[in-house]
Amino acid sequence: MLIYIVKRLLVAVPTLLAVLTVVFFFVRIAPGDPTFIILGDQASQQAIAAVHHELGLDRPMLVQYLDFMSTVLQGDLGNSLVTHRPIWNEVANVLPYTIELTLSALFIGVVLGLPLGIAAARHRNETLDYAARIFSLLGLSFPAFVSAIMLLLAFAIELHWFPVISEARTGDPLSRVSALVLPAVNLGLIMVAYVMRVARSSMLGVLGEDYIRTARSKGVPARVVIWRHALGNALIPVVTVVGLYLGVLIGNSVLTEIVFNRPGLGKLIVNSLNQRDYTMLEGLMVIYAFIIVIVNLLTDLTYGLVDPRVRQR
Amino acid sequence: MSEAQHPSLVVDGLTTAFRVEGRWYDAIRDVSFSVAKNETLALVGESGCGKSITALSIMGLVPKANGRITAGRVLLDGRDLVPLDETEMEKIRGNAISMIFQEPMTSLNPVLPIGFQVAEALRYHTALAGEAARARALALLEHVKIPSAARRFDDYPHQFSGGMRQRVMIAIALACSPQIILADEPTTALDVTIQAQVLALLAELKSETGMAMIFITHNLGVVASIADRVAVMYAGDLIEIAPVEELFEHPMHPYTEALLSSIPRVDRDAGDLKPIAGQVPPITAMPSGCRYADRCPLRVPRCTKMPPLVALAVDPKHRVRCWVRAAEESANA
C-alpha cells in the first residue's frame, strides 16, 4: 500500500507542473492588458512601459515562465492587482467556508445516496425504486441556482427556519451551522442524486455476480451479503463518481455561494472577474487545479483501500 | 452404495418454472431421484438441460425475480426444504447442504481475503468465532492442500490460480461437514491435469467424511471415474437413472444411447461419430409429451404424452422415461 501511495504521489507531480504551464500561457494568451486596470485606458506610453517593467512583462516569455514557475513552486502566488494584498491571504480567509460547504454536501450525498441506491437495487422495479429514480432524475435536472432559490423561498422566507442571508463570518458555532444548512442541502441533494444512481446500477450488477451466489450458498444472512459482500465491490464505481463529481461540486459551489451570499472561493472568483484582477484569477486557477489534483489523488488512494487488486499494482 | 440405504436427500417431482417474456415455462419438470450417504450421483446432460437449475432448486437459490419452484419436494432427512423461508434456508445452506460452482475465477469475492471467506461459513453455522474460526479455516485450507496455507490465509482470490481457487471453494463447501455436497461442473473450467487433481481431492474427501455428493457434469469420462449412479437429463426431464456400469453397458433411453455413441474415442475413426440430429427445442416451444420425441428414431404416437419414469423389471435400480423402451423391456421380462 505504501508503494502504491508513493507511486500515485509521483504521478501527481508532472500533472501539477503541466497545469501550472497551461495556466501561465492561458493568462498570457487571454485578451486584455493588466496595465489598463492599474493605470486606466488614458495612460501614456511611458507609464505603460514603466508598469510593464515593474511587473516584469517586458522580459522574454521564457524568462517570465521560469520566474512564474519558481515563485509558484515556492508557494508564492503574488499580490492582488486590486487590493495589493497577498493572494494567499485572500484565499486563506475564505477557504474554510468553501471546504465546510463542499464537505457537508459530500457527506449528505454519500450518507443519503448510498443507502438509497442500495435499497433501490434490492427492490428493483418496485415503488421504492421508481420513487428513488424519479427523485434522482429531478436532482440531476435542476440547476443548482434554481434549487437554491426554491430552498430559500421555502425554508428561509416562508418558514423562517434558516437565515436568508448567511452570516457565515461569525464566531458563534450554532449560527455558523444554521447558515450552512441550506447551501449544504442544496449542493448535497444533487450529490445524493448522482451517488444514488451509480450506487443503484453498480449494486444491480454486483448482485448478479457468481460470488454473491457463493455467499448465499454458504448460508450468509441476506443483510451481510448486501453490506459486506456486495457493497465492497459496488463501491468502486461510486468512488469514481464521487471523485469526479467533487470537481462539479466546486463549480456548483460558485453559484450556491452567490445565491446564499456566502464567503468562499466561488465568490472570490466572481469578484476578481468583475474587477479584472488578473493576478488573483491566475492564483485562483492554480489553487483550483491544485484542489482537483488532490481530489483525484485521494480518489485513487480510496480505490486502493476498496480494491485489493489495485493495491498490488 | 445403493438406494436401499437410508437416503440422505430425496428429490420428488421437482418442477421449477422460469418467466420468459411474461409467461411461465417449466425449465425442469417432475425430477425425482435420491442420494444415499457415501454415494455419488452424477447428473449428466448437455448445456441447458436443467442440471444446474435442479441444483439451485435444491439449494433454494433459484433467482426469485423470474424463477420459482412450482411443484415437488426436496427432502433432507425427511424434512421438506421447498416451503422453508429464506431465514430457515440460511441455516441449512452451507451447513447441511453445500455447493461448489463451475467458475472458480468468479465464484470468490475479489475484495475479501480467502481465509475470511472460508471462516465465514463457520461463523454462521458453528459456535466457532475469532481465533478458533481462523484456526479451523486454516486447517480446512491445509486439508484441501493449499500450499503454505498459513502464509496465504490473508491473500485475495486474484493471487490464486483457478485450481487453487477451486480448492478454496471446496474448503468453503466442506467447512461445516455437510451431509450432502452439490458439485456443479467443478472441474469444467480447469486444465485437464488440474481437473484430475481436483477430482481426486473430491473423491478422497468424500470417502473420509461419508457425505453424499451430486456431481453435475457433461463430461461422461468424468462420470465413469467418479460416480456410483448416473441420472441423465434432457431438456428439463430426468430421462434415465441407473448404476454407472449398467448405464454405460445397457443404456435404455434412445437419448442416452445417442449420447454415449457421440463420445469421440481414440480407437475409432472420427467418421464413426454419430452426432444427434436436430436441436433441443427452445423453452418457449417445449412439447408437452416426451421432449426428445422430435429427434427420436423410435417415436410412436403415444410420445405426445409424457412418459413416466419406470423401473425395469430385470433391474429395479435402472429406471427409464420412455414409452417404447419400457414396453419392450416389460414384454421381454
Tell me the shortest Cα–Cα distance from B178 to chain A, in angstroms: 11
Cβ distance A218 to B101 less than 8 Å, yes or no, reads no
Residue A12's pLDDT band, with cuts at 50, 70 and 90, is confident
Assess whether pLDDT exceeds 60 at residue A78. yes
- Closest CA relative to residue B279, chosen from B110, B23, B49: B49
Residue A77's pLDDT band, with cuts at 50, 70 and 90, is: confident
Per-residue confidence (pLDDT) for residue A215, from 0 to 100 = 94
Which residues of chain A make contact with B59, given a CB cutoff of 8 A? 217
Query: CA torsion sign, B158 to B159 to B160 to B165?
Result: negative
DSSP letters spanning A88-152: HHHHHHHHHHHHHHHHHHHHHHHHHHHHHHHHHHHTTTSHHHHHHHHHHHHHHHS-HHHHHHHHI
Strand B310-311, strand B319-320: pairing: antiparallel
Query: Pairing mode, if any, of strands B97-100 and B310-311?
Result: unpaired
Q: Cβ–Cβ of A306/B93 closer than 8 Å? A: no
Which pLDDT band, with edges at 50, 70 and 90, does A72 fall under? confident
**DSSP assigned state of A216:** H
The H-or-E segment that residue A58 falls in is none
Domains of chain B: 7-96+178-332 (3.40.50.300), 106-175 (no CATH)
Which pLDDT score, from 0 to 100, does residue A269 have? 87
pLDDT at A116 over 60: yes
The H or E element containing residue A241 is helix A231-259
Question: Which of A124, A219, A228 lies nearest to residue B91, judging by beta carbons?
Answer: A219
- Smallest Cβ distance to A222: which of B86, B110, B125? B86
What is the residue extent of each domain of chain A? Answer: 34-76, 91-312
CATH 3.40.50.1980 fits A91-312, yes or no: no
Cα(A82)–Cα(A38) distance, rounded to whole angstroms?
A: 8
Output the pLDDT for position B2.
43
The mean of the pLDDT values for chain A is 84
Distance in Å, alpha carbon of A204 to nearest chain B alpha carbon:
13
Q: What are phi and psi of B236, to 5 degrees?
A: 90, -5
How many residue pairs from chains A and B have C-beta atoms closer than 8 A?
A: 79
Burial of A44 (0-12, 13-18, 19+ CB in 10 A): exposed
Q: What is the pLDDT of residue A166?
A: 63
Coil, helix or strand for A41? Answer: coil
Residues of A with CB below 8 A from B94's CB?
217-220
Q: How confident is the model at residue A261 (pLDDT cuts 50, 70, 90)?
A: confident
Q: Is residue A32 predicted with pLDDT exceeding 80?
A: no
Q: What is the pLDDT along chain B (333 residues), one digit of tens a residue?
A: 444 457 889 999 999 999 988 899 999 999 999 999 999 999 999 888 999 999 999 999 998 888 999 999 999 988 999 999 999 999 999 999 999 998 888 999 999 999 999 999 899 988 888 888 999 999 999 988 899 989 999 999 999 998 899 999 999 999 998 999 999 998 888 888 888 888 898 888 888 888 999 999 988 888 988 999 999 999 999 999 999 999 999 999 999 998 888 777 777 776 767 778 788 888 888 888 999 998 888 889 999 999 999 898 888 899 999 999 888 877 776
Specify the residue for cell string 437429463. B233
The residue-averaged pLDDT of A232-249 equals: 86
d(CA B240, CA B162): 33
Indicate yes or no: CB of A232 within 8 angstroms of CB of B112.
yes
Does residue A283 have a pLDDT over 90?
no
Among A221, A218, A304, A210, CA closest to B108: A210
Provide the 10 A C-beta neighbour count for residue A236: 18
- By the 8 A CB rule, do A281 and A291 touch? no
Check if the beta carbon of residue B232 is closer than 8 Å to that of residue B255. yes
Give me the pLDDT at residue B120, please.
Answer: 92
Extended beta strands in B195-309, E state: 212-217, 229-234, 237-243
The CA-based angle A172-A176-A180, given to 5 degrees, is 170
C-alpha distance from A27 to closest chain B C-alpha (Å): 46
CA distances from B319 to B55, B226, B299 (A): 21, 20, 19
Crossing angle of helices A144-151 and A173-207, rounded to 10°? 130
d(CA A198, CA A116): 11
Q: Which of A74-78, A217-221, A262-266 has the lowest mean pLDDT?
A: A74-78
Candidates B91, B94, B111; nearest CB to A306? B111
**pLDDT category, A167, cuts 50, 70, 90?**
low
| CA gap A212, A82 in Å, rounded | 61
Q: Which residues contact A169 (CB under 8 A, 6 or more apart)?
A: A263
